[in-house]
Amino acid sequence: MKYKYKVCVYAICKNEEKFVDRWYESIKEADEIYVLDTGSTDNTVNKLKEHGVFVKVEEIKPWRFDIARNKSLDLVPNDTDICVCVDLDEVYEPGWRDILEKYWKNDTTRLRHTYNWKIENGKPVVTFYYEKTHKKEGYRWTHPVHEVLTYDLGNENVVTCDEIILNHYPDDNKSRGSYLELLELSVKEDPNDDRNMHYLGREYMYHRRWNECIDTLIKHLNLKSATWKDERAASMRFIARSYKNLNRFEESTLWYLKAIDEAPYLRDGYVEYGMLLYEGKQYIECVNYLTKALTIKKHEKTYINEIFSWDYTIDNLLSCCYFYLGLKDISLFYINRALDYDKDNRLLKNNLEIIKNAE
């Protein structure tokens, strides 16, 4: 088939030989493929070259994701119409090239498509839009980590396509130990960037540095550019989560309620506050908030989504609440709903037996 546009895939990698074959099969519909290897000590480079991939090896010191991405983008020829950035732990569903040709127009600058970031039991549980397909001219990567494409030639013309699907199958053994230091650098370089201020606060939370998380996320909420309600609500939840871990439950409650008010269309605030209520044995209130969460049917395509808002967690918690409230039949109803989601889950199976055997 003769295509209208020249499409090139580009990537960075290091020690990812186990992903090479699967990745290549996924992206071989591209006209050309370029990879910057940043210092692999396994067989990644040789395996890529066996597939005809153009590979350049260069270590980036000190490490920054944006510099590495830009060096990989520099490998792509200037006559390329569409650049597609795909990491080696990501897999396109077949036919993506034909769909891309259908949606891309001569004046398109970037395309966003469906990205399944987290998949459990074969089901996407965190899905959002991926925005790493773009024309070459005018785009550069910015920020040391959680890097983004920045366009410097005026207004973008961004096309949204739900039909192209990219699935993420990460190597959970890979360290993300450099993220905190790089995020601190990113915020130092641009203290008014609301996105990276949010990410830095979240990273402090991952490191259990609760007070720094709270202080940083309050800074995020006070930035004039921090207007995206989904992300603001997430900052509020993370502040609440930090207060919970500091055993300051009144402040935790306050911030969970703020998160719900900020984005009442998202399940996450209701569910996480429900967890707090459950731990406090406030079962009736817990049922109230979790039931409200279940009325929200739309799964927004945003990275903000929490897995526990869309898996078996709500049904399991409701089952436990009704069990402690002495309503066995309703408890059985919800535990069976939870098992419909994950029939082999040992915790859920044990809960089912406890409920069945209860007097």
Whole-model pTM over 0.85: yes
What is the Cα–Cα distance from 116 to 106, expressed in whole angstroms? 28
Alpha helices in the chain (DSSP H): 17-27, 44-50, 65-74, 96-103, 179-189, 194-206, 210-222, 229-245, 249-262, 267-279, 283-294, 313-324, 328-341, 346-357
pLDDT digits (tens, 9 = 90+) for 51-86: 999 999 999 999 999 999 999 999 999 999 999 999
Query: Which pLDDT score, from 0 to 100, does residue 1 have?
Result: 61
Q: Which residues pair with 10 in a beta bridge?
A: 34, 85
What mean pLDDT, rounded, does the chain reach? 95
> Can you spell out the DSSP letters for 53-111?
-EEEE---SS--HHHHHHHHHHTS-TT-SEEEE--TTEEEPTTHHHHHHHH--TT--EE
pLDDT class of 285 with cuts at 50, 70, 90: very high
The arithmetic mean of pLDDT across residues 6-33, rounded, is 97
* Both tokens assigned to 311: 């898996």
Find, among 262, 268, 259, the residue nearest to 292 by Cα: 268
Query: Which pLDDT score, from 0 to 100, does residue 184 have?
Result: 97
Query: Which pLDDT score, from 0 to 100, does residue 303 have?
Result: 85
Query: Which pLDDT score, from 0 to 100, does residue 193 have?
Result: 95
What is the Cα–Cα distance from 25 to 196, expressed in whole angstroms? 34
C-alpha distances (whole Å) from 46 to each of 13, 79, 354 are 13, 27, 55
pLDDT digits (tens, 9 = 90+) for 121-171: 788 888 999 999 999 999 999 999 999 999 999 999 999 999 999 999 988
pLDDT digits (tens, 9 = 90+) for 182-212: 999 999 999 999 999 999 999 999 999 999 9
Q: Which residues pair with 118 in a beta bridge?
A: 126
Q: How many CB atoms lie within 10 A of CB 336?
A: 15
What is the Cα–Cα distance from 303 to 169, expressed in whole angstroms? 16
Question: Which domains does the chain carry?
Answer: 7-168 (3.90.550.10), 179-275 (1.25.40.10)
